[in-house]
Amino acid sequence: MVERKKEGKSEEKNEDKMEERKKIAIEDLPGVGEATAEKLREAGYDDLMTLAVASPKDLAEVSGIAEGQASKIIVAARRMADVGNFETGEEILERRREISKLTTGSKALDDLLGGGVETQSITEFYGEFGSGKTQIMHQLAVNATMPAERGGFSCHVLLIDTENTFRPERIIQMAKAKGLDPEEVLRSIHVARAYNSHHQILLGEKAAEMTKEFPIRVLIVDSLTSHFRSEYMGRGSLAERQQLLNRHMHDLLKFGTIYNAVVAVTNQVSARPDVFFGDPTSPIGGNIVGHTATFRIYLRKSKAGKRIARLVDSPYLPEGEVVIQVGEDGISDVSA
């Protein structure tokens, strides 16, 4: 209980910080006059945060201002928005104190993850088709809307759906099972279909904009890798695929850090070792995904709706395995 109270307090502080950032107009930045501000706004850069996380090249390209000036504006926005600079160890500790944990619906799985799915890092769920990845993503989206006492964040959710597997009907089932108002839960989940990998990358970049309108603390990408896999076939295009995937992962991580949000992604285990190099049971994206995701959960099918979840390569948690239940009510512990 004491723990939870602390969390609530730091969340408030986080919101204050976000409010503050929103109040500063882009004209307040050195070197941004009325004309430049207009160009920036037309290009969709209408607040400090979107400028702070932009790249000089992109900004110059879409707004028509010189790259040198774009670079200066970005640096100024970063300083004002208080992101992207060197931080002292104390500041990092302070930021890490804000980390909150979202329940998966299974106490066993939460414990395996050290209390739930953490904010400010990427958690990857990988496994074969039908191993329950999408079910877990739906459950996290529902749980996020619950209050802190129940392991949620009372927040909204962004879900990037690449395989067209989001089902509002499933959300309704899970919400009812938790005694939540299904309509309210549905209103808190913002879903974007990503039609190809470029579109997916773009949606990742635009996620920050949604935080201006909605209190978003959970970002889900289901699946992280399917478009990349189908678009970049064979060894020849592997380098390009990995580079794009790397950029996308870093956008996601940045979102998680800046907004103190959970980032949960899914990854299908490759069943096509002839197309993809290496071990058929190793997740797609290889090193890139593995090095950027802080927590990786490998899911395996078991009997009667049971799934085995294994924590793999965690920086500070011991490896381990638990059994969870995937049923009509969603994700839960296996009843004794």
Contacts with ligand ADP by CB under 6 A lie at 127, 129-135, 173, 305, 326-328
Which C-beta is closer to ligand ADP: that of 131 or that of 294?
131
Provide the minimum distance between the beta carbon of 333 and Mg ion in the complex, in angstroms, as a whole number: 22
- Omega cis (within 30) before 223: yes
Q: In the chain, where does DSSP find H-type helix?
A: 2-23, 34-42, 48-52, 56-63, 67-81, 89-97, 107-112, 133-144, 168-177, 182-187, 197-210, 226-231, 238-258, 286-292
Provide the minimum distance between the beta carbon of 133 and Mg ion in the complex, in angstroms, as a whole number: 5
Provide the minimum distance between the beta carbon of 222 and Mg ion in the complex, in angstroms, as a whole number: 6
Residue 33 buriedness (CB in 10 A; 0-12 / 13-18 / 19+): exposed
296 binds, among Mg ion, ligand ADP, none (CB under 5 to 8 A by kind): none
Which C-beta is closer to ligand ADP: that of 21 or that of 170?
170
- Residue of 295, 322, 266, 330 whose CA lies nearest to 129: 266
Provide the minimum distance between the beta carbon of 126 and Mg ion in the complex, in angstroms, as a whole number: 11
Which C-beta is closer to ligand ADP: that of 222 or that of 251?
222
Which C-beta is closer to ligand ADP: that of 260 or that of 325?
325
CA distance linking residue 54 with residue 67, whole number of Å: 12
**Residue holding tokens 């090249």?**
57
127 binds, among Mg ion, ligand ADP, none (CB under 5 to 8 A by kind): ligand ADP
- Footprint of Mg ion on 99-158 (CB under 5 A): 133-134
Of 61-69, 110-118, 161-169, 307-315, the window that binds Mg ion (rule: CB under 5 A) is: 161-169
Which C-beta is closer to Mg ion: that of 138 or that of 254?
138
Which C-beta is closer to ligand ADP: that of 259 or that of 295?
295
Q: Which two tokens stand for residue 272?
A: 């096509």
Provide the minimum distance between the beta carbon of 226 and ligand ADP in the complex, in angstroms, as a whole number: 10
Provide the minimum distance between the beta carbon of 309 and Mg ion in the complex, in angstroms, as a whole number: 15
Provide the minimum distance between the beta carbon of 181 and ligand ADP in the complex, in angstroms, as a whole number: 19
Buried-state track 63-98, b at ≥16 Cβ within 10 A, e below 16: bebeeebbbbbbbbbbebbebeeeeeeeeeeebeeb
Query: Largest alpha-carbon pair distance within the chain?
Result: 67
**Residue holding tokens 């009997």?**
303
- Residue nearest to Mg ion as judged by C-beta position: 134
**CB of 48 within 8 A of CB of 21?**
yes
**CB of 262 within 8 A of CB of 219?**
yes
Residue count, binding to Mg ion (CB under 5 A): 3
282 binds, among Mg ion, ligand ADP, none (CB under 5 to 8 A by kind): none
Which C-beta is closer to ligand ADP: that of 50 or that of 134?
134
Q: In 219-321, where does DSSP find H-type helix?
A: 226-231, 238-258, 286-292
327 binds, among Mg ion, ligand ADP, none (CB under 5 to 8 A by kind): ligand ADP
Binding-site ranges for Mg ion (CB under 5 A):
133-134, 165
